[in-house]
Amino acid sequence: MAEKKQEKYEESMLYKLRHSTAHIMAQAVLEKFPTAKIAIGPAIEEGYYYDFDLPRPITPEDLEGIEKRMREIIKTNFRFDRRVISADEAKKLFYDQPYKIELIEGLEKGTLDEDGNPIFEKPEISTYTHATFTDLCRGPHVESTSQIDPDAVKLMSVAGAYWRGDEKRPMLQRIYGTAWVTPDELKDYLWRLEEAKKRDHRKLGKDLGLFHFSEDVGPGLPLFTPKGELLRYLMESYVRQLQTKYGYEHVWTGHVVKEDLYKKSGHYDNYKDAMFPPMIDENIAFRLKPMNCPSHMTLFKEMGLHSYRELPMRFAEFATLYRYEKTGELTGLTRVRSLTQDDCHIFCTPEQIGSEFSLALNLIREVLDTYHFSDYVVRLSLRGKGGKYVQDDEKWNLAEKALRESMDAAGLDYFEAAGEAAFYGPKADFIARDVLGREWQLSTIQVDFIQPARLGLTYIGEDGAEHTPVVLHRAVTGSTERFLGVIIEHFAGAFPVWLAPVQAVLIPIADRHMDYANEIATKLKNTGIRAMVDSRSERMNAKIRDAQNQKIPYMLVVGDKEMENGQVALRLRNGENPGPIDLDGFIKQASEEISKK
């Protein structure tokens, strides 16, 4: 979660409730396993967890018993009492808990500065006690267990977790749970989890015949079927047409780039671990392209010296990029090693930043609305501490000022997040919520004063002198693969009619109706409607069921009556059955639905 959102969450009643429930869970676990060693137990988004070093693996039966005991503890109404103690007192209190001792010793040393040097500002050490359980904790907590509804808590799962995330340290058992204010909220949360499983794009993608992953090809490298490729084509064509309408020009810059270009741009120092290994030819290192901006900037430079009258210049490209993601971090289409990005770079003067931001914003809004993402927030991603950012305070300040002014002028409601900027500049990131309330970062607009200067980009200004252009980096849907995964889950595979790979399926009742079905399918295709005939020997009801499972918008059943009257019997994928309709009437109805997206 973003920094400010996290701060707000930590101040909320829900956070206190979940943090307190984590302590209650730890008490129940220690009662069941008296020799257990406890580590940490924070509240997290939508729940909490606690890490334990236990004498044996936790079983589902254990979870049921622990959850039952948690409800008993909650009903007894214990207070949560805070106490400030010294480090020596804490060590005596937790003498038999090695993970707590390590945390206490860390607190004794105080915090560290950016270079890892101790500041020796020793933080306050506090504990919280309820019933028989005491934990090293800064809080906050509810006043007593009576503020927790015992029917609004549930243990979810168990997973392995290395102590402090270090694979060289002990492997602990992490028990996840969730807690809500009311049982109805818990019920709604569990429903959303089940619905998310049903909507999982990896399962739906296979069921709908859209894409596959193969060990023969390699992890993170999706293979798209004809249906899947058609879906990609429709998505990209829509954005391409819209970009053209908004004045963007499409370019192509290939798949391989000399490594030296990324050293000049700054990407090598910041992203070399995410690049595939180099290919060497006559002592020249080449890399599979992990990003487009250096190539687009080079193209701008190679096209000759530009006049301010040529600006803004907008380059767009659907380029396949390659990221050497770790195998364990790959997640279906939402995290892959080959991705196609709807990337754009706008070369403009400083005075044009506001108008270009507004143009890009309008395009993004139009696309998000089309895909039914009306609920989104905008994050102003700024520099944080650390060395990943190019050190040029003057250019950073210019970029941040320009981006803020552009967002304010557009009337955007946004929040700030330190540490989320690109290494070369601040970003406006559009984070959309899907129908299940999950957040996805989709679109972005970035202001870059740094890379154009590093790569030697210039234009002749109105004063006759050379100036360095500003570059706005802009992506609408981000990567085609990731966005496809998101919308599969957003629509549960039931895409809007304009986007459905198959828009209508003809279902002949008997073999004698096959010719009529093929004739209708041909007429539909000639009008631009994507249609197919289910010519299998299956029964009609089975064909209808299969078409519904394939999320095909229109099912057109044809039998003797339909042949005689030049009609089709219309059924919809949501189960509605409008009945017989003239072919021309159906074509008009479907075409209108498709045209309005």
**Domain residues of the chain, as ranges?**
3-196, 207-249+289-490, 497-595
pLDDT digits (tens, 9 = 90+) for 130-145: 999 999 998 899 999 9
Buried b vs exposed e over 202-239: b needs ≥16 C-beta within 10 Å?
A: bebbeebebbebeeeeeebebebbebbebbbeebeebb
Strand order in the sheet with 256-258: 256-258, 284-288, 279-281
Catalytic residue among 345, 383, 530, 571: 345
Q: Among residues 137, 293, 344, 348, which one is catalytic?
A: 293
Could you give the CA distance from residue 441 to residue 2 in angstroms, rounded to a whole number? Answer: 12
Q: Which of 473, 530, 543, 551 is catalytic?
A: 473
Q: What is the DSSP letter of 335?
A: B
Residue of 342, 343, 448, 534 marked catalytic: 343
CATH, domain range 3-196: 3.30.980.10
Can you say how many angstroms the Cα of residue 321 is from the centroid of all Cα atoms in its chain? 18
| Stated pTM of the model | 0.84
- Does 343 participate in catalysis according to the annotation? yes
Catalytic residue among 37, 267, 323, 490: 323
> Among this protein's residues, is 341 annotated catalytic?
yes
Contact (Cβ atoms closer than 8 angstroms) between residue 407 and residue 356:
no
Per the structure block, which two tokens stand in for 48? 């909490």
| Three-state DSSP state, 136 | strand
Q: Is 550 a catalytic residue?
A: no
pLDDT reported for residue 437: 87
Q: What pLDDT sits at residue 504?
A: 97
Q: How far apart are CA 431 and CA 533, in angstroms?
A: 40
Q: Is 344 a catalytic residue?
A: no
* Cα distance between residue 493 and residue 199, in whole Å: 7
Angle (CA) 218 223 226, round 5°? 165
Quick one: CA torsion of 216, 219, 220, 226, rounded to 10 degrees? Answer: 30
Mean pLDDT per segment of 10 residues, for the chain of length 597 residues? 53 90 97 96 93 95 96 95 92 94 82 46 82 92 95 96 91 96 96 93 96 96 97 96 96 96 92 93 94 96 95 96 92 95 95 94 95 92 82 89 92 90 92 90 94 95 95 94 96 96 96 95 96 94 95 96 94 93 94 93
- Secondary structure E strands in 114-266: 125-130, 133-136, 153-162, 171-179, 211-212, 223-224, 249-250, 256-258
H helix and E strand count, the chain: 19, 29
CA 535 to centroid of chain Cα atoms: 40
Q: Which of 37, 289, 427, 551 is catalytic?
A: 427
Positive or negative torsion for Cα 445, 449, 454, 460: positive
> What does the pLDDT read at residue 112?
44
Render 478-537 in DSSP notation, one character per residue. EEHHHHHHHHHHHTTT---GGG-S--EEEEESSGGGHHHHHHHHHHHHHTT--EEE--SS
Q: 207-249+289-490 falls under which CATH superfamily?
A: Bira Bifunctional Protein; Domain 2 (3.30.930.10)
Which CATH number is correct for 497-595, 3.40.50.800, 1.10.287.470, 3.30.70.20, 1.10.8.60? 3.40.50.800
Q: Helix, strand or coil for residue 293?
A: helix
Which of 101, 92, 25, 95 has its CA nearest to residue 63? 25
